[in-house]
Structure 1
Amino acid sequence: MGERLPMDLTAYERRARSGRCFICAFLAGDAGYEHEPLYDDGSWVAFLNRYPTLPGSALVAPRRHIEDVVRDLDPAEYLSLQAVVHRVARAVNQVLRPERTYLLSLGSRQGNAHVHWHVAPLPPGVPYEQQQYRALMAEDGVLRQTPEEIAELGRRIRAALAELADE
């Protein structure tokens, strides 16, 4: 799956629990919170995961700061968000051709509180014991990616998203 860089999980947790909301900071253009954008329709956004454990991992989130998907989204908003998650997942699949794509919402009111979905494409050939949650955990590090590789992957996924819009 590529070379990995160690992840300082203690610093990450400290930032997630006491720092600014990473999604709101990204959307505000704050330094240190940059992500490669994939999609923005004014209500929902998608962007590449800054700390990917799987190539092409993306996040999909509401633009407004929402902390509880059940209490803070009505059924129509929830379905609209899920439609974007599905569309982004289809675009990621078109570009990366994974064996499976994991879709899950993580976070907590104690850290990373802004509701977001992970679109995590599992590459073909990953041994079973390294799949599922194991594939998502940063304890073994995160993928090393150059800014050029990130930008190119973003370009390819945005192009796939544009093709899907024509369907």
Structure 2
Amino acid sequence: MSGHPGYGHHTVFEDADHIAFLDRWPTLAGKVLVAPKRHVEHVVRDLDPEAYVRLMLVVREVALAVEECVGAERTYLYSLGSMQGNAHLHWHIAGLPPGVPYGRQQFHALMAENGVLAVRPEEFADMAARIRERIAARGGLQGL
């Protein structure tokens, strides 16, 4: 991966070790992926305790910024993938907006099979800028 998802993306955070960018096929507004730049495949075995904690601090700070931008009533954090596909470790951050009926929450809200949002390029750029602004305003990732 080397910090590049293989398609044009809108970065919301980047440091020497991590990258966070908007999901190209979001099921919820402001959905973000966070990944280490170094190739890592297993969320527990492949990271020493310090690298794991740093990654999770990045996930937390980006998730807090996403929550502020989308007004999430709940935030879903999950890591998927397998040796057969999406092997590079990455975390998904998806903010559930208020008012979604229970039957359309949780896995239903996250599955692309249930539809992805049609997002125009300028909407991606605007959302990425707003998330970056919230991350900067929070200041929690400085000196990580």
Instruction: Look up the match of 1:84.
Output: 58
Query: Matches of 1:87 and 1:46 in 2, distance apart?
Result: 11
Instruction: Look up the match of 2:70.
Output: 96
Instruction: Look up the match of 1:145.
Output: 119
| Paired residues of 1:92 and 1:121 also in contact (CA < 8 A) | yes
| Paired residues of 2:108 and 2:114 also in contact (CA < 8 A) | no
Measured after TM superposition, the shift of residue 26 of structure 1 is: 6.2
Query: Matches of 2:114 and 2:67 in 1, distance apart?
Result: 24
Query: Matches of 1:123 and 1:26 in 2, distance apart?
Result: 29
Instruction: Look up the match of 2:12.
Output: 38
- Structure 2 counterparts to residues 12-91 of structure 1, below 5 A: 24=1, 27=4, 33-91=7-65
Gaps of 5+ in 1: 1-23
Gaps of 5+ in 2: none
| Paired residues of 1:66 and 1:115 also in contact (CA < 8 A) | yes
Count of residues in correspondence between the two structures: 141
- Whose helix proportion is higher, 1 or 2? 1
The AA in structure 2 aligned to 1:164 is: R
TM-score between both structures, scaled by the size of structure 2: 0.93
Query: Matches of 1:165 and 1:41 in 2, distance apart?
Result: 14
| Paired residues of 1:96 and 1:121 also in contact (CA < 8 A) | yes
Identity of aligned residues (%): 54
Which portions of structure 1, spanning 4 or more consecutive aligned residues, are displaced by more than 2 angstroms? Answer: none
| Paired residues of 2:77 and 2:94 also in contact (CA < 8 A) | yes
Which structure's CA Rg is the greater one? 1
Query: Matches of 1:97 and 1:76 in 2, distance apart?
Result: 31
Report the secondary structure of 2:4's partner residue: helix
